[in-house]
Amino acid sequence: MDSPSLPGPPRARAIGIARSGFGPRLPWIALLVLAFRAFAVQITREPVVEATPTNALVRWSTDVTCGSRVRYGTDREHLDQHADDAVAENHRATLRGLKPGTEYWYAVGTFRIALATNRFSTPAAAVIPGTNPDGTVPAAPRAPPATATWGNPRSLQDHFDRHGTDFGTRDPDAYAAKAWWFLQEARAGKHRAKIDESGDLRVYDPATRSFAAYNKNGTTKTYFKPGRRDYFDDQPGKPATLRQLQEFPLPR
């Protein structure tokens, strides 16, 4: 037996079916699912903060790929600054221009929504030998000779040949001197730093993407700009405290 048909032309019958609730709903369900997923971002790794007196690196992970934004400020109810980074599942953002010895509130999330709120404090800027009261490195007529600052003098020429132009240096001595000044800046808390179990120090500046490794006696192992932004994160060691950096040897 034939099923009954609705009156009217085919287009009218299709509209009638849709309005009566018998039409296909799959496209609408798909849109609802996508909308739900957009607002169902979950944090899978809680935020971790590595702070220096003037900068802080915030890292966290989510269960889906989304934008990276950290809103921050000194007033929990008024996070008036923000730092953005790439769309990812493993997120990171660098907060710059912070005040030493100050508590900050921050909220990690996507470009549109905040997912978690917490706070951290920047360490106080310490005055250490060889630095100005504001933590900057004073100008000097000459750094110590490369024979005193470079751990393995026989490797210096090779390192300079491969990386010297990245730092605008014209000879191995100037290249070694820049690595020495980079260590001075790290000892003042200006860069990210790690110390491994053997006492070796690794330093990274996200702003210039400069990386250096130093022996436990303060002499330089290497100084270059890695191609990967997460190169420093993959290095062994634990974040160095400001006190550890102050006590780290500086060849003279």
Structure confidence by residue, pLDDT tens digits, 171-205? 999 999 999 999 988 988 889 999 999 999 999 99
Query: What pLDDT sits at residue 142?
Result: 66
pTM: 0.54
Query: What pLDDT sits at residue 17?
Result: 38
Tally the domains of the chain: 2
What's the domain range around 193?
A: 146-247
Among residues of the chain, what percentage have pLDDT more than 90?
Answer: 54
CATH number, domain containing residue 212: 3.10.450
Region of poorest pLDDT, from 58-62, 147-151, 169-173, 243-247: 243-247
Query: What pLDDT sits at residue 70?
Result: 96
Region of poorest pLDDT, from 13-27, 46-60, 122-136: 13-27
Q: Dig out the tokens for 92 from the structure.
A: 């990171």
Query: What pLDDT sits at residue 39?
Result: 56
Query: What pLDDT sits at residue 50?
Result: 87
**pLDDT, tens only, 26-64:** 565 555 555 545 457 899 999 988 888 888 999 999 999
Query: What pLDDT sits at residue 105?
Result: 95
Distance of CA 204 to the CA centre of its chain: 11
Query: What pLDDT sits at residue 123?
Result: 82
Do 176 and 103 share a domain, yes or no? no
Region of poorest pLDDT, from 40-44, 71-75, 97-101, 141-145: 141-145
Residue 97 contacts residue 82 (beta carbons within 8 Å): no
Query: What pLDDT sits at residue 27?
Result: 60
CATH number, domain containing residue 117: 2.60.40.10
In eight-state DSSP terms, residue 99 is P
C-alpha distance from residue 210 to each of 143, 232, 240 (Å): 19, 10, 17
Query: What pLDDT sits at residue 251?
Result: 84
Average pLDDT, the chain: 82
Q: Which of 233, 236, 234, 249 is nearest to 180 (CA)?
A: 249
Do 108 and 185 share a domain, yes or no? no
Residue 192 contacts residue 80 (beta carbons within 8 Å): no
Do 117 and 188 share a domain, yes or no? no
The SS3 assignment for 102 reads: coil
The Cα–Cα gap between 232 and 220 comes to 16
Q: Quickly state the pLDDT bin for 243 (edges 50, 70, 90).
A: confident
Q: Quickly state the pLDDT bin for 101 (edges 50, 70, 90).
A: confident
Among residues of the chain, what percentage have pLDDT more than 70?
Answer: 77
Q: Quickly state the pLDDT bin for 131 (edges 50, 70, 90).
A: low
Do 105 and 161 share a domain, yes or no? no
Which residue, of 121, 154, 172, is where some domain finishes?
121
Do 97 and 171 share a domain, yes or no? no
